[in-house]
Amino acid sequence: MFTGIITDVGRIDAVAPFGDGVRLAILSRYDPATIPIGASIACSGCCLTVTTLAPHDGGVRFTVDASAETLDKTTLGGWRVGTAINLERSLKVGDELGGHLVSGHVDGRAEILARDDGEDMSRFTFAPPASLLPLIATKGSVALDGTSLTVNDAQDTFSVAMIPHTLKVTTWQDRRPGDLVNIEIDTIARYVARLAAMRPFQN
């Protein structure tokens, strides 16, 4: 589990075929001594498992493997050497829950339709997959590229607002209309929708 609070911006150092998917090498400022093999790291919202790691330039170089299904449902298939990605270590018991509970199981890709930069806030408008629209609620939570955000308005599209600090410490400072981002709906919404779908069978 994660919280949607980004703790580093990593960069893709290598991309290689691996089975029906790819193996990605990622550079990060994380301390390699604190990352065991098998650790889960959210990479722009996608929970991936560390398969190898080594110290690198004061930080770490680690690899993760992504399956064909992951590439199909997320933005990972478009990552190239040099691509910047949001990173978050998995939640530990006792950690502050600063965002909301995020599983790292991406539901699909959302397109940025507009970006309006103000002095104190930047507003992004998104088009999510149509199947996810009923699960996105005004004032609810959503994870976009692994970042925990509050939905400002949800209709046929939805919008979020970001403060300058969020832009500065994540990849969002470089995001523009037309870009695709990973979206994960709130876990509570997922289960409410499932219960509502099952109700006719319980009567």
Tell me: the pLDDT tens digits for 105-123?
Answer: 999 999 999 999 998 999 9
Q: Identify whether residues 82 and 123 lie together within a single domain.
A: no
pLDDT at 94 over 80: no
pLDDT value, residue 192: 73
pLDDT value, residue 202: 54
pLDDT value, residue 8: 98
Whole-number Å distance between alpha carbons of 55 and 60? 4
Position 35 in a domain: yes
Looking at residue 166, its amino acid is T
Position 29 in a domain: yes
Q: Identify whether residues 112 and 189 lie together within a single domain.
A: yes
pLDDT at 201 over 70: no
Q: Which domain holds residue 14?
A: 8-89
Position 1 in a domain: no
For residues 68-96, give the mean pLDDT.
92
For residues 55-79, give the mean pLDDT.
97
pLDDT value, residue 77: 95
Split into its structural domains, the chain has a count of 2
**Residues 54, 104 contacting (CB under 8 angstroms):** no
Q: Identify whether residues 74 and 142 lie together within a single domain.
A: no
The pLDDT mean for the chain works out to 93
CATH number of the domain that residue 166 is part of: 2.40.30.20
Question: In terms of DSSP bridges, do strands 147-154 and 59-66 run parallel, antiparallel, or are they unpaired?
Answer: unpaired
Q: Identify whether residues 122 and 85 lie together within a single domain.
A: no
Whole-number Å distance between alpha carbons of 51 and 38? 6
pLDDT at 61 over 80: yes
Of 89, 118, 152, the residue that ends a domain is 89
Position 101 in a domain: no
pLDDT at 35 over 70: yes
Which of 26-30, 96-100, 195-199 is predicted with the least confidence, judged by mean pLDDT?
195-199
Of 57, 89, 121, the residue that ends a domain is 89
Q: Identify whether residues 134 and 66 lie together within a single domain.
A: no
Whole-number Å distance between alpha carbons of 19 and 40? 20
Of 54, 89, 124, the residue that ends a domain is 89
- Report residue 41: phi and psi, to 5°: -130, 130
